[in-house]
Amino acid sequence: MAEIQSLMHGFGVALTLTNLLLMFTGVTLGVIIGVLPGLGGANGVAILLPLTFSMAQTPGGATSAIILLSCIYWGALFGGAITSILFNIPGEPWSVATTFDGFPLAQNGRAGAALTAAFTSSFFGAFVAVLVITFLSPVIAGFALEFGPPEFFSVYLLTFCAFIGTSKEPAFKTLAAMMLGFALAAVGTDPVTGTLRLTFGSTRLLTGFDFLVAVIGLFGIGEILLTLEEGLAFKGASAKLNLNVVLQTWKELPRYWMTSLRSAAVGCFMGIVPGGATPASFMSYGVARRFSPDGERFGTGKVEGVVAPETAAHAAGTSALLPMITLGVPGSPTAAVLLGGLMIWGLQPGPLLFVEQKDFVWGLIASMYLGNIAGLIVVLTCVPLFAAILRVPFSVIAPIIMVVCAIGAYTVHNAIFDVWMMVVFGILGYLFKKLQYPLAPLVLAIVLGDSAEASFRQAMLVSQGDMRIFFSNTLVGFLTTLALLLLLWPLLSWSLAKIRRTSA
């Protein structure tokens, strides 16, 4: 196996004392970045990019530089889950789906279990993705080339269809909330014609409504307001605080092997396309809810509901590095900065990188294994520490959370206007939650609305307005059909059951 040999060589490159030190530094920084909504993975990587610039010019330095930066990336992937579970505030877009079951778990006093499940699944997802990159990269590197505008649209459609359809909230409220998300996503520059939409001449609306501002407000501030009604305390504060919780959760996790494998597959697929970690987490959560025997009780605090999105997000985040290094197509803003880093250091991402820069590429792949192990160790040992945050009295931690949220909202566009918007979204979040308007479809629409519309209209430009393009080849036809099947699944399973009953 040539791959094993290359990989061993890669470990040789990556396993130096300096590099190991860089790994732990990177992961720790990444976790901090993931926890603070004001610092995205892209921020952290971008800030350290110039530092690595001089590193990259020493022999073997490019590998060290990418190890440092990619470990920040892993750390941020791990860290995003922490605030989602503890405070219902997703630090990163791909942790939104983690809040659905992670936060209820914490409220039930099982924050430690939720954190352990999230971290372990993240690791598992990443591990599967690295295996795929190690052994299958020549086969799948070209797969992304198959994806034109119609294929991308069908992937987004698939995400929506996998996620919606089984909402417990009133149908017309779900519809209204989701459409509001699409409308908010449309504010700003139209991606196809470049004209300004829905800005009403205001320069403040030019940037549109950023996902992070909406989510911090709707979930974070909204949740604090709701909590206030109940009195001044977070529920679940009496969480047990020792490392035993890790072992106990590990005993429970093998039960969800099917969900783990499925989610890892969804994640790898979405990473390689590259569709992104955020849609991957939503899609995986939706699919798990549909096919798990426990699906009905998702959203009330099921460990499986944390496993699904975290596995997929981390698998997608990891496998997204493949199209990045082989095609120069970044799967996320963080990957885009990493990509910029490669170019600044004089490495050209592309099909030849694997051939010309063997040391670098295999060093990077080896560091993915090591970096994720380092990450898992760092975050798991900190589980009791994180869970202990819940013990801080509400009247101390709540204003600090609000301040951190405000900083998070501000840093998105360096605009104080976004802090005001966060407060508005907070009030909306409070009202919606009380009146049973679901927030998840709204957020999904804000995240994907823009890309989905852009790829739909690109496809229409290609086909000159002919809808048949969504069935024009096997790949896109398969994806579109699968999406429609998932959308109609409740109807199908209902009629199947009926047929079975009448024939029996």
Partner 1 sequence: MNGAREEADRAAIGKKSAEIIVAALFFAVGALVMYDSQRLGSTWGGDGPQPGYFPFYVALIICASSVINIVRALMIRADKDSAFVMRGQLKLVLAVLIPTALYAAAITWIGIYVASILFIGYFMRRLGKYPWWKVVAVSIGTAVVLYLIFEVWFLVPLPKGPLESLLGLD
Partner 2 sequence: MTRFVPAAAMLAAALAAAPAVHAWEPTKSIEFIIPAGTGGGADQMARAIQGIVAKHGLMHQSLLPINKAGGAGAEGFLDVKSAKGDPHKIIITLSNLFTTPLATGVPFNWRDLTPVQMLALDNFVLWVNAKTPYKTPKDYVEAAKKAGPGKFKMGGTGAKQEDQIITAAIEQRTGAKFTYIPFKGGGAVATQLVGGHVDSTVNNPIEAVAQWRAGNLRPLCVFDLKRLPYKQKVTKDMAWGDIPVCKDAGLDVDYLMLRGIFMPPGVSQDQVQYYIDLFKKVMATPEWQKLMEDGAFNRTALVGKEYADWVAKEEARHVSLMKAAGFMAGGGK
Closest CA to 96 of 54, 19, 159, 161: 159
Is residue 467 a contact point for partner 2 (CB under 8 A)?
A: no
The verdict on 477 binding partner 2 (CB under 8 A) reads no
Closest by alpha carbon to 405, among 63, 65, 126, 91? 91
In angstroms, give the least distance from the CB of 147 to partner 1: 19
9: number of Cβ within 10 Å: 15
What DSSP letter does each residue of 387-444 carry, written as one string?
Answer: HHGGGS-HHHHHHHHHHHHHHHHHHHHT-HHHHHHHHHHHHHHHHHHHTT--SHHHHH
398 binds, among partner 1, partner 2, none (CB under 5 to 8 A by kind): partner 1
Closest CA to 396 of 208, 215, 192, 237: 237
CA dist 258 and 279 (Å) reads: 20
What is the Cβ-side half-sphere exposure of residue 90, based on CA atoms within 13 angstroms? Answer: 25
- The conformation of residue 219, written as its DSSP 8-state character, comes to I
Site string for partner 2, 335-354 (x = CB under 8 A): xxx-xx--xx-x-xxxxxx-
| Stretch of residues binding partner 2 (CB under 8 A), selected from 212-220, 277-285, 327-335, 432-440 | 327-335
Our finding on whether 330 is near partner 2 (CB under 8 A) is: yes
Q: How far is it, in rounded angstroms, from Cα 67 to Cα 235?
A: 39
Q: Does residue 488 touch partner 2 according to CB under 8 A?
A: no
> CA 48, CA 411: separation in Å to the nearest integer?
17
* Helix and strand totals (H; E) in the chain: 23, 2
Q: Indicate which single residue of 3, 169, 190, 252 sits in contact with partner 2 (rule: CB under 8 A).
A: 190
Contact partner, 138, from partner 1, partner 2, none, Cβ < 5-8 Å per class: none
State yes or no: residue 474 binds partner 2 (CB under 8 A).
Answer: no
Mark residues 384-403: x for contact with partner 2 by CB under 8 A, - for none: --------------------
Total interface residues for partner 2 by CB under 8 A: 56
CA distance 311 to 303: 12
Binding span for partner 2 by CB under 8 A among 68-76, 89-97, 378-386, 459-467? 459-467
Give me the least distance between CB of 476 and partner 1, in Å please. Answer: 16
Q: For residues 65 and 55, is the Cβ–Cβ distance under 8 A?
A: yes
Rounded least distance, CB 130 to partner 1, Å: 28
50-89 footprint of partner 2 as x/- string (CB under 8 A): xx-xx--xx-------------------------------
377 binds, among partner 2, partner 1, none (CB under 5 to 8 A by kind): none
CA–CA dist 292, 68 (Å, integer)? 38
**Contacting partner 2 (CB under 8 A), which of 7, 22, 35, 42?**
42
3-state secondary structure 80-119: HHHHHHHHCCCCCHHHHHHHHHHHHHHHCCCHHHHHHHHH
Compute the distance between CA of residue 71 and CA of residue 317 in angstroms, rounded to an integer.
12
Distance, CA of 321 to CA of 330 (rounded, Å): 7
What gap in Å lies between CA 74 and CA 397, rounded to an integer?
A: 27
Smallest distance from partner 1 to CB 399, Å: 4
CB of 145 to partner 2, least distance (A): 4
432 binds, among partner 2, partner 1, none (CB under 5 to 8 A by kind): partner 1
CB of 178 to partner 1, least distance (A): 9
CB of 191 to partner 1, least distance (A): 9
Considering Cα of 454, then 456, then 462, then 464, what sign does the dihedral take? negative
User: Of 13, 115, 144, 277, which lies in the binding site for partner 2, with binding defined by CB under 8 A?
Assistant: 144
What does each C-alpha distance from 126 to 208, 310, 366, 409, 465 come to in angstroms?
32, 10, 13, 29, 40
Closest separation between CB of residue 342 and partner 2, Å? 10
At residue 293, φ and ψ (nearest 5 deg) are -60, -20
- Interface residues with partner 1 (CB under 8 A) are 32-33, 36, 38-39, 43-44, 47, 170, 172-173, 175-176, 179-180, 182-183, 186, 190, 192-193, 195, 197-198, 200, 221, 224-225, 228-229, 232, 393-396, 398-400, 402-404, 406-407, 410-411, 414, 416, 419-420, 422-423, 426-427, 430-432, 434-435, 437, 453, 456-457, 459-461, 464-465
Residue 118, contacted partner among partner 2, partner 1, none, CB below 5-8 A by kind: none
Pick the closer one to partner 2 by CB: 197 or 290: 197
Contact between 118 and 376 (Cβ < 8 Å): no
Give the tokens for residue 156.
């987004």
> Per rule CB under 8 A, is residue 502 in the interface with partner 2?
no
Binding partner at 77 among partner 2, partner 1, none, C-beta below 5 to 8 Å by kind: none
Single-letter amino acid, residue 437: Y
Q: Rule CB under 8 A: which residues touch partner 2? A: 42, 46, 49-51, 53-54, 57-58, 144-149, 188-196, 199, 203, 206-208, 323, 327-330, 333, 335-337, 339-340, 343-344, 346, 348-353, 413-414, 454, 458, 461-462, 464
